[in-house]
Amino acid sequence: MHDHPTHDIYLPKSATIVRSEPMTAFDRYFEVQLQDKSPLGHMPGQFVGVSVPGIGEAPISISSSPDTGGTFEMVVRKVGRLTEALHALPVGAAIGIRGPLGTAFPVESELKGKDLLIICGGLGLVPVRSAIQYVLNRRQEYGDITIIYGSRAPADRLFLDEIESWRATEGVNYLETVDRGDETWKGHVGVITTLLPQVPVSSGATRIIICGPPIMYKFVITGLTARGIPLEHIFVSLERRMKCGVGKCGHCQINGLYACIDGPVFNYAVLADVQEAI
């Protein structure tokens, strides 16, 4: 049995785009406010169904902490008809929002008081940013924090001002790499796993969040388990393939699990024996 919110999950609420800015050649940032100005009521790691009238709907990550109150933020990659339509909408345009949907990172239960290692690849930073903001707003409630962010190229990097503020935050160890550098890039070059040896982890005290492209998970998790990290201390976000968001269409089914309602955030111990999960 899955608990569903009390409002009708099939009916979108009306919302307004209050800010829209390009982030990369394909990714656009949106700040959205529900028409009744109520908070969305999400927790870090959840998503919403975003609909554009006459076009359709797509599941989109929530990228901001619930602490922002009356608005929430998303980053949308242009990959199809719905996302193209969203990119073209002006500030002030109306969209539909269903949610929040799915599971969240256990920031209150299993992560509080622990050292955190947060590993993001590419667009994986988008949902994880919500958890990073949540934790940094309650810095004293968590142990040491390490953030590792990997991009394909410097031009693909997201939230540039914000990641500089993380780098400068006391008690945060921020590491970054790109797969391919260019003439402007002075930082580390290499896949994200090349940074793991620089990170101290404890089999007991460290909890890990991972979100990124599918190929990243296997290599990162192998590297962590080789250092004694138990599978149940690893939390992953699997947002791929989701469509309806409420377990009806089967689009995101992974054997007996649904990424949209059993996830998108999973304890990796639950997935370790599920074929095709990672």
Three-state secondary structure string covering 218-230:
HHHHHHHHCCCCC
For residue 100, is the peptide bond before it cis, meaning its omega torsion is within 30 degrees of 0?
yes
Amino acid (one-letter) located at 118:
I
Other CB atoms within 10 A of residue 100 CB: 20
Structure confidence at residue 247 (pLDDT): 53
Structure confidence at residue 270 (pLDDT): 84
Q: Is the pLDDT of residue 76 over 60?
A: yes
Structure confidence at residue 242 (pLDDT): 46
Give all domains of the chain, ordered by start, each with its CATH number. Answer: 13-101 (2.40.30.10), 115-271 (3.40.50.80)
Q: Is the pLDDT of residue 252 over 80?
A: no
The stretch 69-93 carries a mean pLDDT of: 93
Structure confidence at residue 202 (pLDDT): 85
CB 221 within 8 A of CB 272: no
In the chain, what percentage of residues exceed pLDDT 70? 86
Q: Is the pLDDT of residue 69 over 90?
A: no
**What's the CA gap between 240 and 3, in Å, rounded?**
22
Structure confidence at residue 255 (pLDDT): 55
pLDDT, tens digit, 9 for 90 and up, residues 209-246: 999 988 888 899 999 999 999 999 999 998 654 444 44
Task: Name 148's bridge partners.
Answer: 119, 175
- Model confidence, pTM: 0.90
Q: Phi then psi for 119, rounded to 5 degrees?
A: -120, 115
In the chain, what percentage of residues exceed pLDDT 90? 72
Is residue 38 very low, low, confident or very high in pLDDT (cuts 50, 70, 90)?
very high
Average pLDDT, the chain: 88
Structure confidence at residue 21 (pLDDT): 97
Structure confidence at residue 27 (pLDDT): 94
Q: Is the pLDDT of residue 127 over 80?
A: yes
Amino acid (one-letter) located at 5:
P
**What's the CA gap between 247 and 229, in Å, rounded?**
31
**What's the CA gap between 209 and 238, in Å, rounded?**
11
